[in-house]
Amino acid sequence: MKELLNKSNVNRSVLRRKVFNDAGNESSNLSRHCYFPPFKKEYFDLLHLCGLSDKDISTFVSRFYVFESERKSKDNILRDHGTNLLLFIMHYFLINNEYQTYLSAMNLLCIKFYSSRLRVHFPTYCSEENFQRALDSLPKNHIFAREKTIASALMFFSKTLARKHEKELKEFNNPEKISLFIYECRHRIAQSLRSFAEIYYAISKESSEKTYTGQEEKVGAGQQDEFQIGQLDKKQRLVAETSRDITVYKHKDLKARDAAKQLTKINQVTADTIIEILSDAKYYDDVRIILELFLREIKIKDEICGRLFIQLVQKLMSVKRTKKQIYFKQQVTNLTCKLVKTTTMMEDKYEHLTTQSKFYVSLFVAYYLTFFLRNKIC
């Protein structure tokens, strides 16, 4: 760790502010159900503020974690660069007697572990409704229930671990003790998430069985106009299937493209480029969230298969103000920004567009995704 400190050129005040802000912002974001905290961008931002390179972290990891057990020495959790950068930051603020910043960095580490374990339990799909029901169904002694929120639970872990391991993190000269700290931190969070996920999937199974039973009972006249895929389980399957088709399996719906292009008047090259970029598995979650938010608005079949469809998309994309933390237009805009930033040429063209033209690009994305879904249903 001394070698890493000697190599570093820490921008102390800016790093302090970023650690505080990131910990606060991500804790706030955890109030959103099925929220997966990101870390890749934050890692490189923090690395820059520490005056270090990714190679410096890699060299430190190779030299520090040397054990008699070869398996343990190769354990991915110990060799993770993001984890070790946060350990460096905790050590740095401890030796500079800034305990509150040390605590915030500890909180960021707990949030990072929470995010990675969340992706293990929810690798492809997470229902916000079932997520909330699972939180409501937790036993009173579960840490998420006892501390009222997931963010508060992670802060509890942070404070407990910060007190318990302060000495070894400040000295940072014993790889065995540091590894035990990492294992304990990950284990406590993993244990809590595992029991939560068990309740979540039990609720999902129950919802699926109820949906099936309800559909068996709904036979007879007068049901033709009901939007049957509005049932929770069928919605989830339809959204997941469509999202995979678009991103993972790289299916392209030219009929959807042409309809979206005609409505927004964007040019052929831009339309084809966006659809090509969208054919990437990394956009699966973005597409899934957008389609899930769209299907929530569907009450009757005519809203998606009839004349009301275009009006509904326009309405959702015309929202100016809302109290919702997550909504259709917001997610479409976020995805559009990700897509246009994929290539420098695309980003440059986009940045030179007027506000109105940028909106039409987002509107094209909204129409393409929802037309793709519509063509599977109708």
Q: 3-state secondary structure string, the chain?
A: CHHHHHHCCCCHHHHHHHHHHHHHHHHHHCCCCCCCCCCHHHHHHHHHHCCCCHHHHHHHHHHHCCCCCHHHHCCHHHHCHHHHHHHHHHHHHHHCCCHHHHHHHHHHHHHHHHHHHHHHHCCCCCCHHHHHHHHHHCCCCCHHHHCCCHHHHHHHHHHHHHHHCHHHHHHCCCHHHHHHHHHHHHHHHHHHHHHHHHHHHHHHHHHHHHHHHHHHHCCCCCCCCECHHHCHHHHHHHHHHHHHHHHHCCCCCHHHHHHHHHHHCCCHHHHHHHHHHHCCHHHHHHHHHHHHHHHHCCCECHHHHCCHHHHHHHHHHCCCCCCCCCCHHHHHHHHHHHHHCCCHHHHHHHHCCCHHHHHHHHHHHHHHHHHHHHHHHC
325 falls within a domain:
yes
308 falls within a domain:
yes
Are the C-beta atoms of 367 and 274 separated by less than 8 Å?
no
Of 145, 170, 204, the last residue of a domain is 204
Say whether both 40 and 188 belong to one domain: yes
Residues 272, 292: Cα–Cα separation, whole Å: 24
95 falls within a domain:
yes
Say whether both 192 and 300 belong to one domain: no
- 180: Cβ contacts below 8 Å, ≥ 6 apart: none
145 falls within a domain:
yes
- 32: Cβ contacts below 8 Å, ≥ 6 apart: 325, 326
111 falls within a domain:
yes
Of 172, 188, 204, the last residue of a domain is 204
Say whether both 278 and 197 belong to one domain: no
Say whether both 48 and 189 belong to one domain: yes
Residues 85, 52: Cα–Cα separation, whole Å: 9
Say whether both 349 and 251 belong to one domain: yes
> pLDDT of the chain along its 378 residues, tens only?
888 999 989 999 999 999 999 999 899 889 888 888 888 888 899 999 999 999 999 999 988 887 655 545 456 788 899 999 999 999 999 999 999 999 999 999 999 999 999 988 888 778 888 899 899 888 989 999 999 899 999 999 999 999 999 999 999 989 889 999 999 999 999 999 998 988 888 887 776 555 434 444 443 434 434 444 445 557 777 888 888 889 888 889 999 999 999 999 899 999 999 999 998 888 888 898 899 889 888 877 778 888 888 989 999 999 888 878 788 999 999 999 999 888 788 888 888 888 898 999 999 999 999 999 999 888
Q: What letter represents residue 267's amino acid?
A: N
Say whether both 241 and 174 belong to one domain: no
Say whether both 163 and 248 belong to one domain: no
Instruction: Select from 363, 369, 261, 372 the least CA-distant residue to 317.
Output: 363
Give the domain extent around 314: 228-377
Say whether both 184 and 255 belong to one domain: no
265 falls within a domain:
yes
pLDDT at 79: 87
pLDDT at 224: 39
Say whether both 84 and 128 belong to one domain: yes
pLDDT at 96: 94
293 falls within a domain:
yes
pLDDT at 223: 41
209 falls within a domain:
no
Say whether both 189 and 279 belong to one domain: no
Say whether both 172 and 75 belong to one domain: yes
Say whether both 166 and 242 belong to one domain: no
pLDDT digits (tens, 9 = 90+) for 250-308: 889 999 999 999 999 899 999 999 999 998 888 888 898 899 889 888 877 778 888 88
How many structural domains are present in the chain? 2
Of 142, 172, 204, the last residue of a domain is 204
